[in-house]
């Protein structure tokens, strides 16, 4: 499950209130999302979730599920 705060951050940074989990399958197809917005989103996510994401880790993310998993791993949540 994707933490709703992730979508809230994306909506806020892109100024696009219509963003949903399904609409972010390809981030660069989202209205208002460009490479600069990706950096802004990353900064907000790091602040909200209290994690540090390295640029190389960011490049490996393909979707919101990957981002959620990375956040969870950095926060020390276990997966079974």
Q: pLDDT tens digits, residue range 27-60?
A: 655 656 677 888 898 899 999 999 999 878 877 8
pLDDT, position 20: 83
- As to burial, measured by CB atoms within 10 angstroms (0-12 exposed, 13-18 middle, 19+ buried), residue 25 is exposed
Give the domain ranges of the chain. 4-74
| Residue 71 pLDDT greater than 60, yes or no | yes
| Kind and range of the H or E run holding 64 | helix 64-74
The pair of structure tokens assigned to 46 is 């790091």
pTM, two decimals, is 0.80
How many residues does the structure list for the chain? Answer: 80
pLDDT, position 31: 57
| Residue 6 pLDDT greater than 90, yes or no | yes
In CATH terms, the fold of domain 4-74 is 1.10.1200
pLDDT, position 26: 63
């Amino acid at each position: 499950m994707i933490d709703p705060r992730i979508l809230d951050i994306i909506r806020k940074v892109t100024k696009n209130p219509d963003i949903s989990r399904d609409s972010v399958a390809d981030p660069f197809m989202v209205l208002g999302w460009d490479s600069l917005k990706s950096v802004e989103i990353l900064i907000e996510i790091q602040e909200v979730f209290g994690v540090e994401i390295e640029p190389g880790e960011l490049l490996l993310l393909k979707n919101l599920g990957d981002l959620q998993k990375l956040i969870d791993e950095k926060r020390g949540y276990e997966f079974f």
